[in-house]
Amino acid sequence: MGWKSVELQIEALIPGILILGEAHVLAISWFTFRATTAPLMPSSEFAKAALFVAAAYSLGVVSSLVSRLVVDSISERAPRALIFGACAHHELGQATEDARQNDARFNQDYQREIEQRLWSTAAKWNAVYRSALRRTTRRDEVDRRRSQGRLLRNLLIPAIGAPLVFFRSPLSILAVIAAVPAFVFLYAYAEYVNFAEAYDISEAKRK
């Protein structure tokens, strides 16, 4: 198993461990849950550890799929474009033209985005972002930053659960509601970091 595969397993395992821990705390603190699972648990410590890892990994896989569905779909509609527009050192028009000239798949991707998005600026940034990543595949620095972004995205559900663990008041509900947009914009910034690195590499390759 290569390191890339190990990274993917870790990206699923860490959120799963956090979700299990938060669920245990919530079951005790919010619902005064005290029922023991001892009759259902194997006697071997190794078997218990293996069962815990398997449960955490399974939860993490489901969590990563849900997080990707929620965070990516929201980010593509506006937050990504807002963050890129505020932080990028390249004009959108220039980046679009560069992608059109150097990426054979850009025009098709761009047309699909224009058809799907209500905001044309978001469609352009989405297409430019994916083009920059396509042109810098298998680059260690870009892959490392993308891995960090995926891990951050996979932490959506643990981030939503954290206020419920630490606050037992109506404020916890408000914190949960505020956590989602804050998390999406934080992930959009992580995407910008990916884009900036990928775009700089693609520019260096042309010179």
pLDDT band at 46 (very low <50, low <70, confident <90, very high): confident
Quick one: how far is CA 20 from the chain centroid? 19
Helical H segments across 79-119, by residue range: 79-87, 92-102, 106-116
Q: pTM for this one?
A: 0.83
Dist CA 99 CA 105 (whole Å): 9
Q: In this structure, how many other beta carbons lie within 10 angstroms of the beta carbon of residue 16?
A: 25
CA atoms within 13 A on the CB side of 40: 5
What is the separation, in whole angstroms, between the first and last Cα of the chain? 36
* pLDDT single digits (tens) 158-193: 999 888 888 777 778 888 888 889 999 999 999 999
In the chain, domain spans: 3-32+44-206
What's the confidence (pLDDT) of residue 168? 72
pLDDT band at 42 (very low <50, low <70, confident <90, very high): low
Dist CA 152 CA 45 (whole Å): 31
* pLDDT single digits (tens) 112-138: 999 999 899 999 999 999 999 988 866
The answer to whether the CB of 150 falls within 8 A of the CB of 191 is: no
